[in-house]
């Protein structure tokens, strides 16, 4: 093929109702390679399964790419709408003798397949070398590819290297079914050719298809694209990613509170590397990405690493954006935040964002702000509020009421000085204080907890808990 063609990549998902994380990574690799080379990244919706290809399922693909921040160039191509063009290509092969009409069906087909296997090669229909009678033409029949009987088909793969297939193992595949429907491999080749795709980057579960597709390209006299088959993503235990590993769909990762920029960084690193770099910007990824550097071995989803990458991007994220995302988490839980509560989240986020690994964790760290007074204290806190601790916290309440600096640092310093003046360690009062302020749910360190809660609310919660039981 001529290598002077401008680079065109594509993602070609089938609408299944969700976008798999493997599809997301394939989209990312195609996107990065196109951007790296100044090329174009296209979308083709492989919607030939009419039952599954609902409008909603197609929308999931658009939403997934939008959320991931991987915009495609131009208009999306819908495969089903191109069936006439696919049939045209089949007829061209038929006329050129590269394909033949085949009436093999049912038991005859099974028998022919068994016979071929017994003879050590893949199916060749007896119709390959038989002239159809005019009377047959009116009867339903398929059109099959006339594959080479001998020799090899070599796929020069940018990731897998040279992969050789024996032609005798590749059957005369059906190009057009007896109902007139074009088949998968045929449609992919015609579409990729018409879309001027130069680089087919996809999961290595399609490597066998690449051999069949190569034969079709050659039969049509078309330039081959470069193939790059990337190993699939496995679960942490090395087995193929499945439900039992947890989230698989892009939307699930979004719901778990991962940021799209973190997913891009993490997925780029999953199956490709640039030295030891773990954290890099989109611009870096585009500058560095070459599909030839993709790993040959399967990659494993590593939740700890994903959490580490996500935490990094949460720290970098704008607080107002984080407040919106946190509000969405509360809304999804059926506890929408009103304006005042959202404003409170926004003020508190700088105090808690440093340690959160997901947006859900961030929301959990803020939930204590919204507890209604008087808080129901957990049993542990009630037990801790014995005479001595109660008296100590009452003294602390007095000191807190006397300070005007409600910054986390000042409050942390106050607590430290208080512990010293009492001649005790933090352990003697901090757990009870935390319980009083939060009701026993997650919260940051105490200086931050007090600061995030605000002066008035902190003192009120102390009063609720310390006032003599009526």
**DSSP annotation string for 106-126:** HHHHHHHHHHHHHTTS----G
45 closest CA partner among 80, 74, 70, 69: 80
Q: Give me 141's structure tokens.
A: 């029949």
Smallest gap from residue 225 Cβ to ligand GLU (A): 10
Nearer to ligand GLU, 101 or 202 (CB): 202
Contact between residue 248 and residue 17 where contact means Cβ atoms under 8 Å apart: no
Smallest gap from residue 45 Cβ to ligand GLU (A): 9
Nearer to ligand GLU, 206 or 347 (CB): 206
Q: Give me 154's structure tokens.
A: 């070599």
Nearer to ligand GLU, 35 or 202 (CB): 202
Q: Give me 245's structure tokens.
A: 């590993």
Smallest gap from residue 24 Cβ to ligand GLU (A): 12
Nearer to ligand GLU, 15 or 435 (CB): 15
Nearer to ligand GLU, 157 or 361 (CB): 157
SS3 63: helix
Smallest gap from residue 291 Cβ to ligand GLU (A): 14
Q: CB within 8 A of 74, min separation 6: which ones? A: 40, 42
Please name the residue that has the structure tokens 């087919």: 200
Report how far apart, in Å, the C-alpha atoms of 392 and of each of 76, 114, 408, 422, 460 are: 68, 87, 21, 8, 17
Among the listed residues 243, 305, 353, 380, the single catalytic one is 243
Sign of CA dihedral 315, 275, 33, 307: negative
CA distance linking residue 30 with residue 11, whole number of Å? 7
HSE-CB for 236 with a 13 A CA cutoff: 9
β-pairing, 152-157 vs 161-166, is antiparallel
Task: Kindly state the DSSP code that residue 311 receives in the 8-state scheme.
Answer: H
Nearer to ligand GLU, 189 or 337 (CB): 189
Smallest gap from residue 148 Cβ to ligand GLU (A): 22
Interface with ligand GLU (CB under 6 A): 12-14, 46, 188, 202, 206
Q: Does 243 participate in catalysis according to the annotation?
A: yes
Contact between residue 111 and residue 122 where contact means Cβ atoms under 8 Å apart: no
Assign residue 14 a region (left: φ > 0; alpha: ψ between -120 and 50; beta: otherwise): beta
Q: CB within 8 A of 420, min separation 6: which ones? A: none
Smallest gap from residue 154 Cβ to ligand GLU (A): 19
Q: Give the 3-state secondary structure percentages of the chain, helix then strand then coil, rounded to 5.
A: 55, 10, 35
Closest CB to ligand GLU: residue number: 202
Nearer to ligand GLU, 188 or 411 (CB): 188
Smallest gap from residue 366 Cβ to ligand GLU (A): 39
Nearer to ligand GLU, 191 or 261 (CB): 191
Q: CB within 8 A of 150, min separation 6: which ones? A: 167, 168
Smallest gap from residue 84 Cβ to ligand GLU (A): 20
Residues forming the active site: 243
């Amino acid at each position: 093929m001529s290598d002077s063609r401008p680079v065109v990549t594509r993602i070609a998902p089938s609408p299944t109702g969700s976008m798999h994380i493997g599809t997301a990574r394939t989209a990312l690799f195609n996107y990065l390679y196109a951007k790296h080379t100044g090329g174009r990244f296209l979308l083709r919706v492989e919607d030939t399964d009419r039952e599954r290809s609902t409008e909603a399922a197609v929308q999931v693909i658009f939403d997934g790419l939008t959320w991931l921040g991987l915009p495609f160039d131009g208009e999306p191509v819908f495969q089903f709408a191109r069936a006439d063009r696919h049939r045209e290509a089949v007829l061209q092969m038929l006329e050129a003798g590269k394909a033949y009409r085949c009436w093999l069906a049912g038991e005859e087909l099974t028998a022919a397949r068994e016979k071929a296997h017994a003879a050590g090669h893949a199916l060749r229909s007896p119709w390959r070398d038989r002239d159809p009678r005019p009377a047959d033409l009116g009867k339903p029949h398929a059109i099959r590819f006339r594959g080479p009987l001998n020799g090899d088909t070599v796929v020069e793969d940018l990731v897998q290297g040279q992969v050789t297939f024996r032609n005798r193992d590749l059957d005369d595949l059906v190009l057009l079914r007896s109902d007139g429907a074009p088949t998968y491999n045929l449609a992919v080749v015609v579409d990729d050719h018409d879309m001027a795709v130069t680089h087919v980057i996809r999961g290595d579960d399609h490597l066998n298809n690449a051999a069949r597709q190569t034969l079709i390209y050659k039969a049509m006299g078309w330039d081959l694209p470069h193939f790059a088959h990337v190993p699939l993503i496995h679960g942490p235990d090395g087995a193929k990613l499945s439900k039992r590993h947890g989230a698989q769909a892009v939307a699930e990762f979004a719901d778990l509170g991962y940021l799209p920029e973190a997913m891009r960084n993490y997925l780029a690193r999953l199956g490709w590397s640039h030295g030891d770099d773990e954290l890099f910007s989109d611009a870096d990824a585009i500058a560095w990405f070459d599909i030839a550097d993709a790993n040959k071995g399967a990659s494993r989803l590593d939740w700890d690493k994903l959490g580490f990458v996500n935490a990094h991007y949460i720290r970098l994220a704008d607080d107002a954006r984080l407040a919106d995302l946190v509000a969405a988490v509360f809304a999804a839980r059926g506890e929408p935040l009103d304006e005042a509560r959202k404003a409170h989240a926004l003020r508190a986020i700088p105090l808690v964002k440093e340690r959160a690994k997901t947006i859900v964790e961030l929301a959990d760290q803020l939930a204590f702000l919204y507890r209604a007074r008087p808080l129901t204290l957990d049993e542990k806190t009630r037990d801790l509020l014995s005479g001595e601790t109660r008296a100590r916290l009452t003294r602390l309440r007095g000191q807190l009421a006397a300070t005007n600096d409600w910054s986390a640092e000042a409050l942390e310093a106050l607590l430290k000085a208080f512990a010293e003046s009492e001649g005790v360690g933090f352990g003697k009062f901090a757990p009870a204080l935390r319980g009083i302020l939060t009701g026993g749910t997650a919260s940051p360190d105490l200086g931050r907890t007090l600061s995030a809660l605000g002066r008035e609310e902190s003192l009120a919660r102390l009063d609720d808990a310390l006032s003599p039981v009526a």
